[in-house]
Structure 1
Amino acid sequence: MNRKIKYLIWDWNGTLFNDVRLGIDIINKLLNQNNLPEITFERYRSIFTFPVSYYYKTAGFDFSKTPFEILGKLFMDEYEKRKYQMNLFDGAREILELAKNKGIGQSVLSAYKHDTLVEILKHYQISEYFENVSGLDNIYAGSKEHLGIELRKKLNFKKEEILFIGDTLHDADVAKAMDVNCVLISNGHQSAERLMDNGNIVLSDIRELKNLI
């Protein structure tokens, strides 16, 4: 893969942005409010998935009592209040700058709502690194595969020249749908054990990308 990469496609939450602990804290708050047992860090990373409604069910929520639309809205309202308490993963800016200096193009592809994604990239002063920013048109974090396919149409590069970087099996699925290479980083929303399914390339830290680009 080394020296061939001309374009990076970044996932946001859990890949560049370290919001894992925030996500766990908020879901536990909702579980408490619904008289359900909290989940641990390890349990969270073993059940988190896309669409996120699936993991809400596994966490214990009963949608016949409280619909997912309500739970999802409560989650995002709290997330939006607290998102600026978080920060990028250590080494993220370094890798973004390294790619820029090497002339490697970069985009963000996320299940986060598009307008809030644009806003948060500006807040953390990294908008300049990205040619394209693609987010969903809603707050419910479903599949972003359709966004990936649309982005792929804009990129005039071969499969081996594009690297998708994410932190979930959904990212690997999206990369496959886009027909691009993928690496997953295991300090985000899913554990290394889960990410290794299907022979995915898994890194433990974003700084390991230095060896791939």
Structure 2
Amino acid sequence: MPQRFDLIVFDWDGTLYDSTALIVRCMQAAAADLGLEPPSRERASYVIGMGLIDALAHALPGLDPSRYPALGQRYRHHYFASAHEVTLFDGVPELLRELKARHHWLAVATGKSRRGLDEALRAVDMTTLFDGTRTADETAGKPDPRMLLELMREFGAEPERTLMIGDTTHDLQLARNAGCPAVAVTYGAHEHESLRDFAPLLVAHDVPTLREWLATHA
């Protein structure tokens, strides 16, 4: 069966990496460290996928921007202290190996920092699996299309032959802004109703469903 997509781009947190609860907890702890009212789980999880500064601004609206660096430092402190507790969702390694065997280019587009993504890739022994990666601190954060446009340019992939897979509305808006089709997963940060508004090709509630769809539609 001919391939529909040359390039498949994954979000990281909440799509491949089971880190949603950790990110929420670290954001709440960082706020508490500075004597601030911690954001609710809903507000903290909504910003997953954004670059750190944008995420802090949304999670704690009204906070003086001069305090963002200190808040970001406390967030990173808590995150890196606990990142070893987190791993890939069950079935993700097999899914990625199958796509690689079918000669798709695989990439990551994430709101994480370069340091954060590189450490996560080393932790799960995937430093050589992906053909390309983009992080929010080296290009524009989601939903600006720049990171996806850069990846398409890097591999010479056309928008209609590039698939974005993510767990947040920021991922789906990124795909829409870049002119690419998208698949949504609901086991990450955002509720499925908000994801359906973007008319993704698939709304997958678990990794096996995503894996089966990619085997026959990608």
Normalising by structure 1, what TM-score? Answer: 0.83
Superposition deviation, residue 182 in structure 1: 0.8
> Could you give the per-residue CA deviations for residues 112-160 of structure 1, whole angstroms, max 9, x where no partner exists?
112332232122112222111222337xx94363222211112223333
In 2, Cα distance between equivalents of 1:48 and 1:115: 17
User: Which fold has the larger relative contact order, with Cα–Cα distance below 8 Å and residues 6 or more apart in sequence?
Assistant: 1
Superposition deviation, residue 16 in structure 1: 0.8
Aligned twin of 2:40: 39
Aligned twin of 2:213: 211
Q: Is the 8 A contact 2:108 2:132 kept in 1?
A: yes
3-state SS of paired residue (2:95): helix
Structure 2, unmatched stretches of 5+, are: none
Q: How does 1:78-117 map to 2 (within 5 A)?
A: 78-117=78-117
Aligned twin of 2:24: 24
Q: Is the 8 A contact 1:52 1:142 kept in 2?
A: no
Q: Is the 8 A contact 1:145 1:177 kept in 2?
A: yes
Instruction: Name the Cα RMSD after superposition.
Output: 2.7
In 2, Cα distance between equivalents of 1:146 and 1:159: 13
Q: Is the 8 A contact 1:46 1:191 kept in 2?
A: no
Superposition deviation, residue 12 in structure 1: 1.0
CA 1:60–1:117: 2 relative to 1, 3 Å: closer
Q: How does 1:185-204 map to 2 (within 5 A)?
A: 185-200=185-200, 201-204=202-205
3-state SS of paired residue (1:72): helix
Q: Is the 8 A contact 1:32 1:38 kept in 2?
A: no
Letter in 1 for 2:206: D
Aligned twin of 2:173: 173
Between 1:101-110 and 1:66-75, the stretch displaced more is 66-75
Letter in 2 for 1:128: T
Q: Is the 8 A contact 2:13 2:49 kept in 1?
A: no
In 2, Cα distance between equivalents of 1:65 and 1:111: 19
Superposition deviation, residue 63 in structure 1: 1.6
How many residue pairs get aligned? The number is 209
Q: Is the 8 A contact 1:149 1:177 kept in 2?
A: no
In 2, Cα distance between equivalents of 1:133 and 1:123: 16
Letter in 2 for 1:116: G
CA 1:29–1:100: 2 relative to 1, 3 Å: same
Structure 1, unmatched stretches of 5+, are: none
CA 1:70–1:31: 2 relative to 1, 3 Å: closer
Aligned twin of 2:70: 70
Kindly indicate which of the two structures has a greater share of residues assigned to strand. Answer: 1
Normalising by structure 2, what TM-score? Answer: 0.81
3-state SS of paired residue (1:133): strand
In 1, Cα distance between equivalents of 2:8 and 2:95: 11
